[in-house]
Chain A
């Protein structure tokens, strides 16, 4: 039986008059890879940030690994994020003064744990960067930086991994590498992964694609191909706003 890791119910978020999210219900099950797509301004990023507890919604609930986010204070939410949620962003968000290995180990150290050298090495090995452990972000290519960010997101063994356009800043080849890596992590380690993207090819790596239109769920595809996704996206963008 599949277990729901992230449960979203009736999620609303307004910025002044703009309704970024207008009543979203979604479940992300354990061990699945979901892509969230939609035209610009459809509320994809807001959805991700609310789901990850980075933003507080105006209404609705978000439950991550059985914990209801709304009831938590800032500190408890930070701790929950640290333990249960991993992130990768379009801009890789590595700390410039730390080496790759130090960046990867940081979440554990922030939690007061001392990661073993082997664990850090293994995390870097999984993303194929074991030999770059001592390099600073400025000495790494974009794809390498994103892979370090991925290793960092996964070292705490989070319940869910969120990606906000994780391949947005990468060229085609490195994008493919990162996406293949994400796919492998889902298949091999049953990682629950949710990724916001606007790239149909990237979305085709997912098990399921959820389309957002004007802050609502506007349909979904299961095991899609890039062509199917692109076609659906063109339809959606044709809808007058």
Chain B
């Protein structure tokens, strides 16, 4: 019986660690394989002008010299307004050989059937000469695909990072709990003469074996999953249609395998170290209750992690608040606080449960006292819930908060009632209406001589009309003074003193020197810069913002007249709603949803597995205690009620801690928005958090119930 029951416990615990590691390896292997394919992706052959050996393309980049350490380097940025191949050059090229052009009159590139050297001699730096594979650069798809690949890398990188974190976290907590459960057994081994070192080696050996087997299984699963992942990315429009898995890349699997084994070993490391300190006397104790005292090392580590998490948050808030708004930052930052919360969870569990859980009856009493007394078990169950809720709360909450802030900012920036959008708009005559026509452009500035920064800008036609239809967050200067020799910048610029001159390059690459007349608040980073249309040659009008003096009838008349512009006429509210869709699960494109699904899905699956195995182990290891409860007069229903209730309370503890971590993160973000003078508001994804907690609660109750049934195997009445 003893061997059987110990086997049952061990089976669940080994399976738990095995599945956690195998899943982690599978996800890492497939995401890494996807990353490897995205990084070294063999691009498709040139499609445009494929029959011409040489392609001449108008200049479309700005190349500037910057300091790189002691030497100089040349960096390039895409121009906002690429140059076409000029007529003069075209005529000269025609003398060399047949010139191929697109039917629709696009002049950004032409194909020519002539020797490359001769073409180069004729072009003489006035345009780019492309041969061979480089001709792809003229394909409009190339730039789009490059952007898509960047997003694939970002998505897979985030997924791989989150998976690694969650799998290390879950594996470590599973191993730690297994050791806690096996304390008696380890005590017996110690009593039988095993030295602490021998015990540690045995446990690490176990972990290593599980890690090897699980990594192998994970790699096998990864080879199955990787092509499917790639297909899903293509089908979801995240990756370009020609994107395929590079089967010859083996390193992702090798890396994932090694990482899997290392994760198993490191996960078991602290647990094994702790196990070595189990004294022989532990075997004699019938200790189902934790002593309640956290080892000082855990308190210290938890405290340090918490302090580090808070300090990083405070430092970012102080030195670089804009960083807090960036995805890369808010994806990694919560991990520190999550680990801190999980480490300190046992310390807060007991008091919190005693204080908050007020359930009636014997079941209520048992739930409260058992949960509060077995802090390790409660903390082990709470940990995966904590990770899921905290990730959902901080990642989604941060993304949604930033989205909402940008929307609010845009709403506050405009005073227009009607907005016309479209390509190459004409300004119609509409008496009684103030029309501000503007075009999208960019300016480039070299900061500190080391980096070339591209800043999105808008080129306005009529400064007076522009100031009437907008309400810019000006912190210094006056936008009305904007003219053809000046610029409006925001605080994000290194140089933002009103009245100073700034050297920059315009959207078409022309160098210019403009005087700063006004400085805008930094905000969420969308405030941009403003120049006059004279400083954006080649930019076509793409937006008309209109303010009408009269009432509704007048507005309708103006809206009718605006149709002559050739664009879509909308109310400002409708335009804002489309340009800044409200934050939510359904907002954002397939890409956002897929990313969300991957990151949260992975952590939710992990939480489910970890919850299930922890509760299975814990509940089946408690068969003696639960039998006692039955003998004391509890019905089967009451015992199940206690077990399920304890699982629910533990899930509740995890959810509470997770919401706490999210609260800290979102609080920091709100602080950053305040410092940046952006609209402050916090969007908490209660719906998603609710779904996560609900799923965890369901899994918890079911696995506790199953564990109870497993514990009852082999016994007839109890």
* Chain A residues close to B by CB (< 8 Å): 54-56, 74-75, 77-79, 81-82, 87, 89, 91, 93-98, 102, 106-107, 109-112, 136, 138, 152, 156
Against A, the Cβ 8 Å flags (1 = close, 0 = not) of B365-404 are 1100110111000000000000000000000000000000
* CB proximity of A139 to chain B, nearest CB, Å: 10
* Chain B residues close to A by CB (< 8 Å): 285-289, 361-362, 365-366, 369-370, 372-374, 625, 627-638, 716-718
Which residues does chain A contribute within 8 Å of B287, judged by CB atoms?
96, 138
Q: Which single member of A75, A93, A96, A109 contacts B362 (CB below 8 Å)?
A: A109
Which residues does chain B contribute within 8 Å of A77, judged by CB atoms?
717
Instruction: Contact check, B631 vs A56: say whether CB atoms are below 8 A apart.
Output: no
Which residues does chain A contribute within 8 Å of B366, judged by CB atoms?
95, 97-98, 106
Which residues does chain A contribute within 8 Å of B716, judged by CB atoms?
55-56
Which residues does chain B contribute within 8 Å of A102, judged by CB atoms?
365, 369
Docked Cα-Cα span, A138 to B289, in Å, equals 8
Instruction: Contact check, B289 vs A78: say whether CB atoms are below 8 A apart.
Output: no
Instruction: Contact check, A96 vs B636: say whether CB atoms are below 8 A apart.
Output: no
* CB proximity of B67 to chain A, nearest CB, Å: 67
7 shortest interchain CB distances as A-B pairs: A82-B633, A109-B362, A97-B373, A93-B628, A96-B288, A110-B362, A107-B633
6 contacts across the A-B interface (CB closer than 8 A): A78-B630, A95-B366, A96-B289, A96-B625, A102-B369, A156-B633
Name which residue of chain B comes closest to A108, CB basis.
B362
Q: Which single member of A82, A112, A136, A156 contacts B361 (CB below 8 Å)?
A: A112
Which residues does chain B contribute within 8 Å of A95, judged by CB atoms?
366, 370, 625, 628-629, 632
- Number of residue pairs A-B, CB distance < 8 angstroms: 81
Name which residue of chain B comes closest to A153, CB basis.
B632
Instruction: Contact check, B362 vs A74: say whether CB atoms are below 8 A apart.
Output: no
Instruction: Contact check, A79 vs B635: say whether CB atoms are below 8 A apart.
Output: yes
Which residues does chain B contribute within 8 Å of A109, judged by CB atoms?
361-362, 365
Docked Cα-Cα span, A97 to B378, in Å, equals 13
Which residues does chain A contribute within 8 Å of B374, judged by CB atoms?
97
* CB proximity of A69 to chain B, nearest CB, Å: 11
Name which residue of chain A comes closest to B287, CB basis.
A138
Instruction: Contact check, B288 vs A78: say whether CB atoms are below 8 A apart.
Output: no
Docked Cα-Cα span, A154 to B335, in Å, equals 53
The answer to whether residues A96 and B286 also contact, given A55-B716, A74-B717, A109-B362 and a CB cut-off of 8 A, is yes
Which residues does chain B contribute within 8 Å of A89, judged by CB atoms?
631
Name which residue of chain B comes closest to A85, CB basis.
B633
Interface contacts beyond A93-B632, A111-B633: sample of 4 additional A-B pairs, CB < 8 Å, sorted by A: A55-B717, A75-B637, A98-B366, A138-B287
* CB proximity of B214 to chain A, nearest CB, Å: 34
Name which residue of chain B comes closest to A156, CB basis.
B633
Instruction: Contact check, A56 vs B717: say whether CB atoms are below 8 A apart.
Output: yes
Docked Cα-Cα span, A55 to B631, in Å, equals 12
Q: Which single member of A55, A112, A136 contacts B289 (CB below 8 Å)?
A: A136
Interface centre among A54, A74, A97, A112 (most CB of B within 10 A): A97
Instruction: Contact check, B638 vs A110: say whether CB atoms are below 8 A apart.
Output: yes
Q: Which single member of B369, B370, B631, B637 contacts A93 (CB below 8 Å)?
A: B631
Instruction: Contact check, B717 vs A106: say whether CB atoms are below 8 A apart.
Output: no
* CB proximity of A150 to chain B, nearest CB, Å: 13
Which residues does chain A contribute within 8 Å of B627, judged by CB atoms?
93
Name which residue of chain A comes closest to B638, CB basis.
A110
Which residues does chain A contribute within 8 Å of B373, judged by CB atoms?
96-97, 136
Instruction: Contact check, B635 vs A107: say whether CB atoms are below 8 A apart.
Output: no
Instruction: Contact check, B633 vs A74: say whether CB atoms are below 8 A apart.
Output: no
* CB proximity of A47 to chain B, nearest CB, Å: 16
Docked Cα-Cα span, A109 to B370, in Å, equals 16
* CB proximity of A13 to chain B, nearest CB, Å: 11
Interface centre among B365, B627, B631 (most CB of A within 10 A): B631
Instruction: Contact check, A97 vs B631: say whether CB atoms are below 8 A apart.
Output: no
Instruction: Contact check, B717 vs A110: say whether CB atoms are below 8 A apart.
Output: no
* CB proximity of B588 to chain A, nearest CB, Å: 47
* CB proximity of A197 to chain B, nearest CB, Å: 19
Docked Cα-Cα span, A97 to B366, in Å, equals 8
Instruction: Contact check, A94 vs B628: say whether CB atoms are below 8 A apart.
Output: yes
Docked Cα-Cα span, A136 to B350, in Å, equals 15
* CB proximity of B634 to chain A, nearest CB, Å: 5
